[in-house]
A and B are shown apart, each in its own frame.
Chain A
Amino acid sequence: MDWQALGLSVKLSAVTVLILIPFAIWVGRFLAYRQFRGKSWIEALIMVPLVLPPTVIGYYLLVGLGSQSWLGQLLEQLLGQQLVFHFSGLVVASVLVNIPFAIQPIQRAFEAVPEEVRDAAACCGMSPIKALTKIELPLVWPGVLTALVLCFSHVLGEFGVVLMMGGNIAGETKTIAISIYDSVQAFDFASAGQMSLVLLLFAITALALTTSLSRRLGGLNVSRRR
């Protein structure tokens, strides 16, 4: 059992979720309430990571952010640290890959908030920020929770991107999925089996918890709404 790799994966998941969820709340809300030209193109763009193979994303990141690209060189000068083969690069990759998993559920949840409720809040003189925190977020929070769990679990299992641009360095970019792959390559099936089981149990628990939580809370919201 490679605890270092598991720890690294959990850290990567947590950092990704912390960055992505506030961003997704902002974008998801914007897309739910606004109609504008080219909206379906923006939505399509957001969904792209869902259909691209992770190795393609990993390839673009390796070439686009590597030390041979101008962008990679610029970022390296600004940050004092190159992104590829480094934990920060994995964060960038995870955030990009998980955009659809974060925005989709949150956007749907905002779309389900009745317009009258928002109008009522505005009529009562609530500021947009107050309306968001007091009225909308309590209503959309099952969507936020779903996004959070989806992203967290998805990062834990991310493989192709990390393989392409991570470099498989212990303690830095060797995540649990890479460690499982390594164990299998080394005929260490006991270790691979243990780690796979941990991931499987985690995935089932996380999904079961989200489903039951959002059913309870979501059910409340729906009954209140109707």
Chain B
Amino acid sequence: MLIGSFSSFAADVPSIAAAANIKFALDKIATNFTQDTGKQVRISYGSSGNFVAQIRHGAPFELFLSADDKYIYQLHKLGVTTTEGELYAIGRLALAAPKSSSLSLDPQLNGLKSLLEKGELNRFAIANPDHAPYGERAREFLQKIGLWQQVHPYLIYGENVSQAAQFALSGSTEGGIVALSLAMAPQFQAAGHYVTLPSELHSPMYQRMVLTEKAGDTAKLFYDYLQQQRSRAVFSEFGFGLPNQTLAEQ
């Protein structure tokens, strides 16, 4: 058996852990990166909380792109990383529904309100607010517009926002609140439609990244690349807000 066959491959291709909600944007940036530099990265997508546990116990990730900055601060406080990293994007929420859904989409959720009043809402999907950042913001949003109590009995929770998006589009729900970056992906739009939700009604979703102690040259190069104009354009194309501190950069 070729047990050792992958280790040479691992040597110059860094492993990167990334929150599931940036998958489509980051896949595109990684392709650009390979085009521009000839170097490759290996990206594992998953929930930020799970990655924190794995990195603490020695996971070989060289770079971690979190959905929420609190996970980066946690790692730093634990002494796992030497810096607090860099803000790379600001997440937004979207209301999404399958094409066949009776839910009409609007930023104030009037469509959802009227479905509730008519008693026609059966299922509504969000990510689990207890540990998924986008679920937490979705709960905040529903509380702010005063619908949380009414919607609560109809909620189904995704383990992370990607799964919530799947639930929202499965056709067995009337819709859900998901990450805008997922709702804007072409794969998503084949099955459903969405509307962007106002960002003033929930606390901001600062997505932060950090290099770990294991980071090599390619990982550091990619970290810089993520802050350059070409990558910023991709993040913005997928509905992310952009941090200002590096705006001047070309």
| A→B interface (CB under 8 Å) | 11, 14-15, 62-63, 66-68, 72, 82, 84-88, 165, 167-172, 174, 182, 184-188
Contact = CB atoms under 8 A, between A and B. Distances in A.
A62 B58 CA distance: 9
- Select the residue from A66, A167, A172 with max chain B CB neighbours within 10 A: A167
A14 B165 CA distance: 36
B57 A187 contact: no
Nearest to B42: A170
Nearest to A12: B1
Interface in B1-39: 1-3, 6, 9-10, 15, 17, 20, 23-24
Given A15-B1, A84-B59, A187-B190, 13 more contacts: A66-B57, A66-B58, A72-B57, A167-B54, A167-B59, A168-B46, A171-B42, A174-B44, A186-B23, A186-B24, A186-B162, A187-B185, A188-B187
Contacts of B46: 168
Taking residues whose C-beta sits less than 8 angstroms from the other chain, chain B's interface range is 20 to 34
Nearest to B4: A87
A167 B60 contact: yes
B110 to A, nearest CB: 28
A11 B5 CA distance: 12
B53 interface: yes
Nearest to B162: A185
Interface string B133-149: 00000000000000000
Contacts of B188: 187
Considering the complex of A and B, which 10 residue pairs feature the smallest CB-CB distances, nearest first? A67-B58, A66-B57, A187-B187, A168-B44, A185-B162, A171-B6, A85-B59, A167-B59, A170-B42, A169-B15
A169 B58 contact: no
A190 B198 CA distance: 34
Contacts of A66: 56-58
Interface of B: 1-3, 6, 9-10, 15, 17, 20, 23-24, 42, 44-46, 53-54, 56-61, 160, 162-163, 165-166, 169, 185, 187-188, 190-191
Contact of B57 (A63, A170, A182, A184): A63
Contacts of A67: 57-58
B10 A171 contact: yes
B6 A172 contact: yes
Contacts of A168: 44-46
Contacts of A169: 15, 42, 44, 60
A122 to B, nearest CB: 38
